[in-house]
Amino acid sequence: MRLTRRSFLTSLAAVAAALSGSRAVAPLARWRRGVKGAVPALVARPEGVHSLAHLEAVPAGGGVALAFAAKPPRAEPAAASGRRWVMVIDLARCDGCRECTRACQAMHFLPGGQEWIRVYEMRDHELGAPYWLPRPCMQCDNPPCVKVCPVSATWKREDGIVMQDTSRCIGCRFCMAACPYQARSFNWVDPEVPGMPDEPYAMEWNRVHRRGTTEKCIFCPALLAEGRLPACAAACPMGAIYFGDQGEDAVTNSQGETVRLSELVAANAGYRLLEELGTEPRVYYLPPRRPLYPPPPPATEPASAGEARR
């Protein structure tokens, strides 16, 4: 039997792949059409050079646009691409509705069961109140997944996004084993997604999907190119997910609130998950102090990120 490069590398990795279990396949909610028009659309006025407050509605097209200042309000060094994308998730606002998850599934036509942004019910200790924690890919600045990929199917872009090219992926799943956030999914079977467009593979849309490859959140670069928020941030009815450019020191949520990244994180004791690992995540969390919703009832067995199946 003649081995191709792909099948050879895949065979080498078969044992590692077998250790990670499989996923259940379930029907997907087709939420995609609901993304458009369900949230306010925002754009910065060209003359709003020094202010992030000059926002106005976009009459057509729907969705949510990022509110960029024409000049950064603070002289932060930016990458050559001009952007350094960053996300802030306010846990005090998240009520666990999982609209972010559904919006992501609809945007990328995800195969059944895949959740590129997964909402965990958390409880830090027995005296603590439960809270919700959405977990996308952290787009790590020091990404372990990139270091282990033998075929460079995943890599770090200048704007901070950790991309994934499934046309190069050989399915070894080394990246899944290396990711400390369990942010990657694997297509065990030929994906069957109702309504999936008949289109060639497009990396920036992260679709169509292919059996035997890994996939993950990539901050919706196709939407960013149109000046819109990622699907999850645009869909959050609580405005819990802020997104923006670190170079501009500004982030925006679905409610049209545009705030300084540095002030938001500093004033609310923001933190990053597993900071001690040195992965340098590009996702910040604000702790669930004084939540804006009634806390979920205590779970019989407290869930944690480590219990998640991939």
The residue count of the chain comes to: 310
Closest to ligand SF4 by CB, 97 vs 148, is 148
Residues 6 or more apart from 301 whose CB is under 8 A from it? none
Considering only 123-131, 144-152, 224-232, 295-303, which stretch makes contact with ligand SF4 by CB under 6 A?
A: 144-152
Stretch that binds ligand SF4, among 18-26, 58-66, 148-156, 256-264 (CB under 6 A): 148-156
Residues 4-63 that bind ligand SF4 (CB under 6 A): none
The yes or no reply on residue 216 touching ligand SF4 (CB under 6 A) is: yes
Task: Return d(Cα 99, Cα 64) in angstroms, integer.
Answer: 15
* H/E segment holding residue 232: helix 231-235
> CA 219 to CA 107: how far, in whole Å?
11
Confirm if 64 and 42 have CB atoms less than 8 A apart.
yes
Q: Closest distance between ligand SF4 and the C-beta of residue 151, in Å?
A: 5
Can residue 104 be called a binding residue for ligand SF4 (CB under 6 A)? no
Strand, helix or coil for residue 34 = helix
Cα 39 versus chain centre, distance: 19
Among residues 203, 254, 189, 286, the alpha carbon closest in space to that of 55 is found at: 254
By C-beta, is 89 or 179 nearer to ligand SF4?
A: 179
Instruction: Write down the least CB distance from residue 277 to ligand SF4, Å.
Output: 9
Q: Is 161 in the site for ligand SF4 (CB under 6 A)?
A: no
Helix (H) / strand (E) containing 186:
strand 184-186
The identity of residue 73, as a single letter, is: P
Strands 258-260, 283-286: pairing is: unpaired
- Identify the sign of the CA torsion 3, 9, 10, 12: positive
Peptide bond into 208 cis (omega under 30): yes
Q: Which one, 148 or 303, has the nearer CB to ligand SF4?
A: 148
Judged by CB under 6 A, which stretch of 104-112, 136-144, 235-243, 293-301 contacts ligand SF4? 136-144
Find the binder of ligand SF4 among 175, 236, 240, 265 (CB under 6 A): 175
Angle, vertex CA 115, rays to CA 112 and CA 117, nearest 5 = 160
Q: Does 181 bind ligand SF4 (CB under 6 A)?
A: yes
Considering only 35, 107, 119, 137, the residue that binds ligand SF4 (CB under 6 A) is 137
Give residues with Cβ within 8 angstroms of 293, minimum separation 6: 93, 95, 238
- Should residue 144 be labelled a site residue for ligand SF4 when binding is judged by CB under 6 A? yes
Tokens (6 digits) for 227 = 């000046």
Choose which of 105, 214, 252, 254 interacts with ligand SF4 (CB under 6 A). Answer: 214
Q: Which of 109, 251, 279, 310 binds ligand SF4 (CB under 6 A)?
A: 279
Q: How far is the CB of 263 from ligand SF4 (least distance, A)?
A: 26
Site size for ligand SF4, by CB under 6 A? 27
Q: Which is nearer to ligand SF4, 10 or 258 (CB)?
A: 10
Q: How far apart are CA 47 and CA 27, in angstroms?
A: 47
Segment contacting ligand SF4 by CB under 6 A, of 82-90, 175-183, 187-195, 237-245: 175-183
Q: Which is nearer to ligand SF4, 45 or 309 (CB)?
A: 309
Q: Which stretches of the chain bind ligand SF4, using CB under 6 A?
A: 137-140, 143-145, 148-149, 151, 153-154, 162, 169-175, 179, 181, 183-184, 214, 216, 279
